[in-house]
Structure 1
Amino acid sequence: MASCGFEPPPLTRHLRVRRDRGHTVLEFHGEIDIAAAAEIGPHLDLATADPDARVVVDLTHVTFFDLSGLRLLHRARHRLTGGRLQLVCVHPLTLRMLRITGLTRLLPPWSTLDSALTAPGSRSGPA
């Protein structure tokens, strides 16, 4: 079988990617620091390559989240000019960082993956 010349990046221990209800779900795991962000970045870029993509970033399984993770989210949001980026986050320290940096105004977090996947067609979270 002929290859189109485009291969997705290899899987990482910090990320699981799957399709669910028309969305690409990127489930981050563990400590999201500069090393993890370097592993996750190519997957997130692939998921947001189509500016109209519907993407959910699930931070439910994250134990640490630094500025590198914030950069990933900010980049993904700006790549989806006509698409939809939803964020799932319940960890108090991560939520605090998102609030302090103002990212919750751009990507209001959902408390569950199901609520993010079934949200009305808005670009980024609840009203």
Structure 2
Amino acid sequence: MTPEADDRIPGPSERTAADSSGAVPPTVGQYARTYTSGPFTVVEVTGEIDLATAGFLSEHLDAATSRPGPDVLVDLRQVDFFDCSGLRELCRADTRARERGGRLRLVSDTPRLHRLLLASGLLRRFPPLAGIPE
């Protein structure tokens, strides 16, 4: 019995098709998706981000910060849980964006995430926006 087309895992050629900017888009997963909104690359994160799932977020952040001058918004409004593994990935992506002459900002209206950023000393580095700017 062979797997149906909807059941199979995409092969390497399907996962690595570059877009017009030359950046390789990450696979779409249950924890994050990436899209463009005006001048921004938006990484929309959902569910729980912890040690087991931070790698999925990392794929999207790596792709979003891979080109020169990236302007990345990480939308965390749909996140149920976020721990230090996610913070590590945000810091790594922020450093990468700055090295390329760009920036990475967070979108969050959740007091829980604001407290996490404050407790970790990262609130000044990542002052959250309430929504995606126009």
- Normalising by structure 1, report the TM-score: 0.81
Could you tell me how far apart the structure 2 residues matched to 1:6 and 1:108 are? 27
Residue number in structure 2 paired with 1:91:
110
Establish whether residue 101 from structure 1 lines up as the match of residue 120 from structure 2: yes
SS class of match (2:123):
helix
Could you tell me how far apart the structure 1 residues matched to 2:58 and 2:86 are? 10
Could you tell me how far apart the structure 1 residues matched to 2:124 and 2:23 are? 35
Could you tell me how far apart the structure 1 residues matched to 2:91 and 2:24 are? 24
Q: In the alignment, is the contact (CA less than 8 A) between 2:106 and 2:126 conserved in 1?
A: yes
Q: In the alignment, is the contact (CA less than 8 A) between 2:23 and 2:67 conserved in 1?
A: no
Establish whether residue 36 from structure 1 lines up as the match of residue 49 from structure 2: no
SS class of match (1:74):
helix
Could you tell me how far apart the structure 1 residues matched to 2:70 and 2:118 are? 25
Greater helix share, 1 or 2? 1
Q: Specify every segment of 5 or more residues in structure 2 that has no aligned partner in the other structure, as ranges.
A: 1-16
Deviations 1:93-118 (A, max 9, x none): 211011111211011101112xxx34
Q: In the alignment, is the contact (CA less than 8 A) between 1:51 and 1:79 conserved in 2?
A: no
Could you tell me how far apart the structure 2 residues matched to 1:51 and 1:65 are? 28
Bigger radius of gyration among the two: 2
Deviations 1:27-76 (A, max 9, x none): 10011111221112111101111241110000000010000110111011
Q: In the alignment, is the contact (CA less than 8 A) between 2:73 and 2:105 conserved in 1?
A: yes
State percent identity of aligned pairs.
Answer: 43
- C-alpha change, 1:7 and 1:57, in structure 2 (3 Å) is closer
Could you tell me how far apart the structure 1 residues matched to 2:109 and 2:24 are? 33
Bigger RCO (CA 8 Å, 6+ sep): 1
